[in-house]
Chains A and B, each alone.
Chain A
Amino acid sequence: MTAHPHIRRRETEPRAPVHAPAKPPFPLAMVYSRAVRRVARSVIERSVSKPRRPRRAGLTAACTVILSLAILPPDARASPFAIPAVASPPSTSPPAVDPPAADPPAADPPAQDAPDLPTTTTTSPTSSAAEVEALERRLAAVEARLAEVEGEADTLAERPAAPETPAPLRAPGTLDGQAPPNYADGFHFGSYGRVMVAGDGRGRPGRNTDIVAHGSRLDESTYAELELRREDAWESVGAYTRIVATMAMAAPVFHYDANFDAKIAIRNLYLEETGLGLKGLSVWAGSRMYRGDDIYVLDWWPLDNLNTLGGGAAYRFKTGTFVKIHSGINQPQSDFYVQTVTRSPPLEMPGAIPVNILDRQKITNSLKLGHVINVGETGGVKVIAYGETHHMRAGQREVDDNAFEDLPSEFGYVAGGELSLFTGKRSTHLNAWVRYAGGLAAYGDFARPTQPAPDNSTKGARELVVALGGNYEVGPFALMLGSYFRSFRNASPALDYDDIDEGIILLRPQVWIKDIFGLALEGSYQVQQRGALWNPPGEDDLRPLVGTVGKIGVVPFLAIAGRGSYSRPHLRFIYTATMRNDAARAMYATDDVMSLRNVDHFIGFGAEWWFGSTSYFRD
Chain B
Amino acid sequence: MKQRALHHFVASLALLMGAGSCMDFNGVDKEINITTHVDDWRDEVIYQILVDRFANGDEGNDYRIDANAPARYHGGDWQGIVDNLDYLETLGVTALWISPVVKNVETDADVDGYHGYWAQDFEATNPHFGDMAALRGLVDAAHARGMKVIIDIVANHVGQAFYYDINMNGSADVLIQGNGIDSPVVHINEYDPDFDARGIQAFTSLGEAGPAPVIFGNDPATNHMPPNPAPFRKVENYNRKGRTIDFEDEDQLLHGDFPGGLKDLDTRRCEVKRTFVDVYARWIELSDADGFRIDTIKHVEYEFWRYFAPHIRRRLAAKGKTNFFMFGEAFDGRDDLVGSFTKTFPPDPSEEACETDGQPITGEQVDGVFYFPQYFQAIRDVFQYAQSTDRIEQLWADRSANYGTQPVPGGIGIPPTEAVVNFLDNHDVARFLYGVQDQPAPVQRALMHNALAFVFTAQGIPCLYYGTEQDFAGGNDPANREDLWTSGYATDGDTFQWIQRLIKIRNSYTALRRGDLSVVWSTSRTGDEEDAGVFAFQRNGGDQANGYVLVVFNTHRSKESHTGFEGNTMSVIAPPGTVLVDVLGPAQQSFTVSADGRIDVTVPASSAMILVPQGDVTSLD
Contact = CB atoms under 8 A, between A and B. Distances in A.
A529 interface: yes
B328 interface: no
Given A400-B68, A494-B58, A501-B14, A533 B282 contact: no
A195 B174 CA distance: 51
Interface stretch (A367-375, A414-422, A447-455, A610-618): A447-455
B25 interface: yes
Contact of A581 (B3, B25, B130): B3
Given A494-B133, A495-B24, A403 B59 contact: no
A452 B60 contact: yes
Given A494-B60, A527-B14, A533 B132 contact: yes
Contact of A487 (B18, B134, B282, B285): B18
Contacts of B137: 494
B61 interface: yes
B29 A542 contact: yes
A491 B69 CA distance: 27
Contact of A544 (B10, B29, B286): B29
Contacts of A494: 57-58, 60-61, 79, 130-131, 133-134, 137
A151 interface: no
A527 B10 CA distance: 7
A558 B66 CA distance: 59
Interface string A468-506: 000000000000000001010111111110110111000
A400 B66 contact: yes
A590 to B, nearest CB: 8
Contact of A533 (B6, B13, B18, B28): B28
A541 B31 contact: yes
B359 interface: no
A493 B83 CA distance: 12
Contacts of A491: 60
B17 A493 contact: no
Nearest to A457: B59
A117 interface: no
B25 A529 contact: no
B7 interface: yes
Given A454-B59, A494-B134, A533-B28, A499 B23 contact: yes
A487 B60 contact: no
A547 to B, nearest CB: 9
Contacts of A544: 11, 23, 25, 29
B17 A485 contact: yes
Interface in A495-548: 495-496, 498-499, 501-503, 525, 527, 529, 531-533, 535, 540-544, 546, 548
B68 A403 contact: yes
A502 B123 CA distance: 27
B21 interface: yes
Contacts of B15: 501
A493 B79 contact: yes
Contacts of B69: 400
A542 B56 contact: no
Contacts of B66: 399-400
B176 interface: no
A144 to B, nearest CB: 45
Nearest to A550: B6
A548 B7 contact: yes
A533 B133 contact: yes
B18 A495 contact: no
A441 interface: no
Contacts of B282: 540
Nearest to A402: B68
A339 interface: no
B67 interface: yes
A410 to B, nearest CB: 14
B25 A495 contact: yes
Interface in A538-574: 540-544, 546, 548
Contacts of B22: 501
Given A451-B60, A452-B60, A531-B23, A546 B18 contact: no
A548 B11 CA distance: 10
Contacts of A466: 17
Contacts of A499: 23
Given A399-B68, A501-B18, A542-B28, A453 B131 contact: no
A86 interface: no
Interface string A372-410: 000000000000000000000000000110010000000
Nearest to A400: B68
A454 to B, nearest CB: 5
Instruction: Among B14, B60, B131, find the residue whose CB has the most chain A CB atoms closer than 10 A.
Output: B60
Interface string B16-53: 01110111110011011000000000000000000000
A30 interface: no
A501 B16 CA distance: 12
Contact of B58 (A464, A487, A493, A532): A493
Interface in B438-482: none
Contact of B21 (A464, A496, A541, A543): A464
Contacts of B134: 494
B225 to A, nearest CB: 9
A279 B142 CA distance: 68
A321 interface: no
Contacts of A450: 60
Contact of A532 (B21, B59, B123, B131): B131
B495 to A, nearest CB: 27
A174 interface: no
A466 B14 CA distance: 11
A456 interface: yes
B559 to A, nearest CB: 47
Given A501-B23, A527-B11, A533-B131, A492 B3 contact: no
Contact of A454 (B3, B57, B67, B132): B57
Interface string A436-450: 000000000000001
Nearest to B225: A590
Contacts of A464: 18-19, 21
B131 A546 contact: no
A54 B59 CA distance: 81
Nearest to A583: B7
Contacts of B17: 466, 485, 503
Contacts of A451: 59-61
Contact of A503 (B14, B32, B130): B14
Nearest to A541: B31
Interface string B119-140: 0000100000011111001000
Contacts of B60: 450-452, 490-492, 494, 496, 498
B56 A454 contact: yes
Contacts of A525: 10
A495 B23 contact: yes
Interface in A140-185: none
Nearest to A527: B10
Contacts of A489: 21
A498 B127 CA distance: 13
B26 to A, nearest CB: 9
Contacts of B6: 548
A479 B520 CA distance: 93
Contact of A548 (B10, B56, B133): B10
Interface string B426-443: 000000000000000000
B485 to A, nearest CB: 11
Given A450-B60, A499-B23, A485 B131 contact: no
23 contacts: A400-B68, A454-B58, A485-B14, A492-B61, A493-B58, A494-B79, A495-B131, A496-B60, A496-B131, A501-B14, A501-B21, A501-B22, A525-B10, A527-B11, A531-B23, A532-B131, A533-B28, A533-B132, A542-B28, A544-B23, A544-B29, A548-B7, A581-B3
Interface of B: 3, 6-7, 10-11, 13-15, 17-19, 21-25, 28-29, 31-32, 56-61, 66-69, 79, 123, 130-134, 137, 282, 285-286
Given A452-B60, A485-B17, A540-B285, 4 more contacts: A464-B21, A531-B23, A541-B32, A542-B25
